[in-house]
Every structure is written in C-alpha cells, then in structure tokens.
C-alpha cells in the first residue's frame, strides 16, 4: 500500500485509506492504538491481542489468532523495534 502512504493497511468502506505522508499514517495508527487500547490499560502486545484477535473468536474458524502474538513480535523485530 505504498502509493497510499498507508503503513497499517487501513481500510475504510472497502478501500485502502490514503494518507498525505507516512508520518500521517503513523500518527493515525498511534491515535487508533490510544483510543482502542491504551486508554483501557492495554499496553502490551499480549494485552492488545486479548481484545483485537482473541484465541477462540467465532470469526476465526481456522484459529489463526493463535499465531498473532508471535507474528507481531516477528514483524516488530524485522522493523528493528526492541520489545
């Protein structure tokens, strides 16, 4: 989604959201994380997982959510983020 400057792959009404810059996309992601998780005390990958993609969710018949935490840490490491 590079042409959209959309680093989070955000979708609105079925289409990728477009940002004027990568920085704007990062700011949007930060505000979203704050509103949906941080304000409720969910600060860690594991805590966010409990709400965002819980294991056993009815909309996850293939149990892919079981791999979510591991995959997030893998992508963070690839991005050079120390967690």
Q: Which two tokens stand for residue 25?
A: 């996309």
pLDDT in tens, 6-45: 988 899 999 999 999 999 999 999 999 999 999 999 999 9
Q: Is the dihedral of CA 33, 58, 67, 54 positive or negative?
A: positive
What pTM, to 2 d.p., does this model score?
0.75
Rg of the chain over Cα atoms, rounded to whole angstroms, equals 14
Residues 18, 1 contacting (CB under 8 angstroms):
no
The total number of residues written for the chain in this structure: 83
Identify the three-state secondary structure at position 20: coil
């Amino acid at each position: 989604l590079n042409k959209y400057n959309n680093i989070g792959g955000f979708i609105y009404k079925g289409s990728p959201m477009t940002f004027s810059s990568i920085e704007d996309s990062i700011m949007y992601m930060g505000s979203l994380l704050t509103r949906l998780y941080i304000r409720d005390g969910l600060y860690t990958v594991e805590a966010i997982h409990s709400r965002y993609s819980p294991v056993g969710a009815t909309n996850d018949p293939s149990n892919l959510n079981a791999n979510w935490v591991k995959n997030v840490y893998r992508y963070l490491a690839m991005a050079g983020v120390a967690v």
